[in-house]
């Protein structure tokens, strides 16, 4: 399996002369913050994905939310007008269950610190989900559930203290809701870890590469593109999986996150939303202009004066300004320093004062 071979090893953005729907054969899509937020679709997402399928791009929906079985994810997507099938969905619960099935004898009891999504996929993989230590589990699996109780966390802590192998579906510290971030599975795992005195033995979901590789395997993809809104899970996972990544600005990560990010979480492409799949993306590289490292995208140009970023030209497109700002900032980050990005953020806010991401 190979990616689109566009990922850059420099501080630049490699761009794509072709629309991403033709440059890649598969979009590996995060859900929360990309396709929907809570129960509601991101505006325009269903139409953008339908056009991507029509253009010949396969779609896979990869989620770290282990609380729902794949059919529930499919049903949610269909209600929002997004075509989806069971094989299109890869959950962290599925990856965790497969990891356990590869390590344990068939029929082994596994303590589930989580919800229905984990229990169903354990059964599908030949294992027996249990809810207490009285059932003599041989391993522990923990995933997000909005119905998590103190008693279940306490039972998980008891099992982990006893030394049972412990797999977490994911370590996302927050979970997106229409009212803002709420505690995610990482926070709940932290509660068990604090009580038990150790961390999980393994993590199934993003940013580990397993979910991305599973999506590519199912679709026989040779040119997958990861699409996400979070640098610390989606884009770090893309880097770990050796795949190119598109970050969209409809979810968690903001302009300041992008400007200050390290190579470990750095995207290949930037877009406002899923319409970014249908356009070419400019290549942006740092250049030496009058003794300053300067990056230009469209009508926007940003220079690095030492560690301070200066907006040479804001242009009229906030996304071009963000691209130029990122490339200029990354030259400072890659030198081991922290850039002062206040001028870029002020210019972005002036161009798009109502955009939540422009901060």
Residues with a known catalytic role = 30, 32
271, β-bridge pairs: 248
Of 202, 211, 204, 112, nearest to 166 (Cα)? Answer: 202
- In the chain, the N- to C-terminal Cα span, in Å, equals 37
Of 174, 234, 213, 228, nearest to 95 (Cα)? Answer: 213
Q: Please state, as a whole number, how many other Cβ atoms lie within 10 Å of the Cβ of residue 124.
A: 15
What is the residue whose two structure tokens read 């009508």?
299
Sign of CA pseudo-dihedral 206, 208, 209, 214: negative
The answer to whether the CB of 115 falls within 8 A of the CB of 67 is yes
For helices 92-103 and 210-218, the axis angle rounded to 10 degrees is 100
Of 200, 219, 182, 184, nearest to 90 (Cα)? Answer: 219
Of 32, 120, 26, nearest to 80 (Cα)? Answer: 32
Q: Where are the alpha helices (DSSP H) in the chain?
A: 20-23, 45-54, 70-79, 92-103, 116-124, 150-161, 185-196, 210-218, 236-241, 255-259, 318-333, 342-351
Residues in CB range of 164: below 8 A, 6 or more apart: 111, 137, 138, 139, 140
The answer to whether the CB of 171 falls within 8 A of the CB of 186 is yes
248, β-bridge pairs: 271
């Amino acid at each position: 399996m190979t990616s689109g071979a566009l990922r850059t090893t420099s501080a630049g953005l490699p761009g794509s002369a072709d629309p991403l729907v033709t440059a890649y054969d598969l979009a590996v899509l995060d859900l929360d913050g990309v396709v929907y937020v809570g129960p509601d679709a991101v505006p325009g997402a269903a139409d953008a994905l339908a056009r991507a399928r029509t253009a010949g791009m396969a779609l896979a929906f990869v989620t770290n939310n282990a609380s729902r079985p794949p059919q529930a994810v499919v049903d949610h997507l269909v209600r929002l007008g997004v075509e989806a099938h069971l094989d299109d969905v890869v959950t962290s619960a599925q990856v965790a269950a497969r990891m356990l099935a590869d390590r344990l004898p068939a029929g082994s009891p596994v303590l589930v610190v989580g919800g229905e999504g984990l229990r169903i996929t354990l059964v599908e993989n030949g294992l027996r989900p249990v809810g207490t230590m009285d059932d003599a589990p041989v391993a522990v699996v923990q995933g997000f559930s909005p119905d998590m109780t103190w008693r279940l966390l306490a039972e998980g802590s008891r099992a982990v203290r006893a030394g049972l192998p412990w797999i977490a579906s994911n370590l996302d510290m927050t979970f997106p809701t229409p009212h803002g971030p709420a505690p995610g599975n990482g926070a709940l795992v932290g509660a068990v870890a604090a009580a038990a005195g150790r961390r999980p033995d393994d993590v199934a979901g993003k940013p580990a590469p397993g979910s991305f590789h599973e999506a590519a395997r199912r679709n026989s993809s040779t040119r997958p593109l990861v699409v996400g809104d979070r640098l610390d899970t989606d884009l770090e996972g893309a880097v770990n999986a050796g795949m190119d990544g598109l970050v969209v600005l409809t979810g968690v990560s903001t302009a300041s996150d992008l400007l200050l990010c390290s190579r470990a979480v750095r995207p290949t492409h930037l877009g406002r939303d899923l319409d970014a799949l249908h356009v070419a993306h400019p290549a942006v590289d740092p250049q030496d202009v009058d003794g300053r490292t300067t990056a230009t995208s469209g009508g926007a140009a940003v220079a690095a004066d030492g560690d301070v970023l200066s907006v040479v030209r804001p242009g009229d497109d906030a996304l071009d300004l963000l691209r130029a700002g990122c490339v200029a900032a990354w030259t400072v980050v890659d030198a081991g320093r922290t850039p002062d990005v206040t001028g870029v953020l002020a210019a972005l806010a002036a161009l798009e004062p109502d955009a939540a991401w422009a901060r």
